[in-house]
Structure formats: C-alpha cells, structure tokens
Amino acid sequence: MSSFNVPLLASSTLVPPPALCFDDVAFSHEDKVLLGPCSFNLDCTGPTLVMGPNGAGKSLLLRLAHGLLSPTQGRVAWSGHKRPRQAMVFQQPVLLRRSAVANLTHALAVNNVPRRTRVKLAYDALERFGLTACSNTPARVLSGGEQQRLALARAWVLSPQVLFLDEPTSALDPAAIKAVEAAVREFHQRGTRIVMTTHDLHQARRLAGDVLFVSGGKVREHTPAEAFFDAPASREAQAYIAGELVE
C-alpha cells in the first residue's frame, strides 16, 4: 500500500471519531430475542473488535449499529449533532456488475461528490489498495481478495467517520488477510472509528484496541484489548479464550 496521502474528503485525525452508544438496545424477531438488551459506549480509540462464537449476534450488533436494522427496543445514538458518515464492508463483498473503477465512482455519485473529482478519487483509492492494474476489470471476476480490497477502497473513497467490517477476512487466504488488516490500520490511522467482527483470536490480538465480547445474544463484556486477552472478566470470554466450545 502506498504512502499516506490526504484525500480530498478526509476527516482530520485531530477530531476524535464519533462515539457510538447502545442504550438498552434489543432486537427480537417473532417473539424471540436475538440480541440484548444491552448497553455500552464505544468512545475509546479502538479499533473495536466484536468477538464471540458463531450465532452469538455479532453481525446483528453491527447491523443495528450501522442502521441496516432498527432495534425493537432501546436506541442507538451517536455523539455529535448528526449521524456520522459511515460505511460497511461485508463478509461477502457486494459489488456492482461494472468495472472496478465504476464501482467506486458509483459510490461517489450516490454521495453527491461532483462529477469532476469522482474519477480522480476513484483512481487514487484503487492505487492505494493495489488495484490499479484491474481498474477496468469487471468487479465480479476479480479474485476474492481483490474483491474485498475493492470493497475497502469503496469505503475509503467515502471517507467514513465510522467503518464497520463484518468478518471481512473469513473467506480469504493469508496474503489477502494481511492486505485487509493493513487497510484496517490505515483507516484507523486516518481517524476512522473501526468496529469489526471476527472469530479469529489471532486476528483480534493483532488489531484490537478494545474488545466487545458477545455470546448467546448478550454483550458479556467490553474491555481494553490487553486486559481482555490476559484476563477476561466474564466467564464466557474466559472459556472462549481458553479454547473451549462456547455457545
């Protein structure tokens, strides 16, 4: 990845990223409570890693935080006056049936970026994520790793204040995982709040600033990373770290 250039839309690193607050949030479907009720405050620098076993409600938590789903109880709030700019990278990247560069210019067009600057921003982002060579390749014939990098580049051009990543590396090989993690760090350095789910302990150790541990639809703890990996507070997290099979 190339050196750090300040893009046109970049939020300044001097301004702390907006804090996310879950206030007694719960989500139920057909009378079954899938998540919560839970309350927590993400105001530390992060990156925040949401951890827990499969089906614990990690993805659901991310979708509620991003606004893809509305909580059936409680509310999701942000510090500051308005909802921050946000983006999300999915486990399976959702790319349009167009060229790589057109995927980026489309996202910029949707966000009302003037036509003149779109193409330049798009090519800058492609270069940053090592995709210049395939800028005109249809996005959906790219390899899995390239597709995920393109999804990250699409998030990058939008200069989000908050970036959600839902198991972004679970289908990738080690080289591609490395590229995605490097990109996550770059977002973090740019001052973007990172909220990412993973069930890979090693990845969490490499990236986490703080950990939100979820199991059985409940948020068990929210702890700074070192403390979490050394001595997790909740019984569930202790079992998880110890390698037991937690539900």
Partner 1 sequence: MEKNNNAFDVALSLLLNLDASLFQIVALSLQVSILAVLIAAVLGFPLGAAVALWRFPGRGAMIVLLNALMGLPPVVAGLMVYLLLSRAGPLGEWGLLFTPGAMVIAQVVLVLPILAALSRQKVEELLGEYREQFISLGMSRPRMMPTLLWDARFALLTILLAGFGRASAEVGAVMMVGGNIEGVTRVMTTSIVLETGKGNLPLALGLGIVLLFLVMLINAGAYLLGELTRRRTG
Contact status, residue 234 vs residue 72, Cβ threshold 8 Å: no
H or E element at residue 165: strand 162-166
Q: How far is the CB of 139 from partner 1 (least distance, A)?
A: 9
> Both tokens of residue 14?
């001097």
Instruction: Name the residue nearer to partner 1 (CB basis): 90 or 123.
Output: 90
Query: CA 141: distance to chain centroid?
Result: 24
- Cβ-based nearer residue to partner 1, 25 or 88: 88
Token pair for 226 = 């070192």
Tell me whether residue 66 or residue 149 sits nearer to partner 1 (CB atom): 66
In the complex, minimum distance from the CB of residue 22 to partner 1, in angstroms, rounded to a whole number: 19
Which residue, 32 or 97, is less far from partner 1 as judged by CB? 97
For 102, phi then psi, to 5°, come to -65, -30
> C-beta of 152: minimal distance to partner 1 in Å?
13
Helix (H) or strand (E) holding 207: helix 201-207
CB of 140 to partner 1, least distance (A): 4
Interacting residues with partner 1 (CB under 8 A): 63, 66-68, 86-88, 90, 94, 96-98, 106-107, 110-111, 138, 140-141, 158
What whole-number distance in Å separates Cα of residue 9 and Cα of residue 160? 9
Positive or negative CA dihedral for 239, 243, 245, 247? positive
Q: What is the DSSP letter of 86?
A: E
Rounded least distance, CB 227 to partner 1, Å: 32
Taking the least distance from each CB to partner 1, the nearer of 66 and 118 is 66
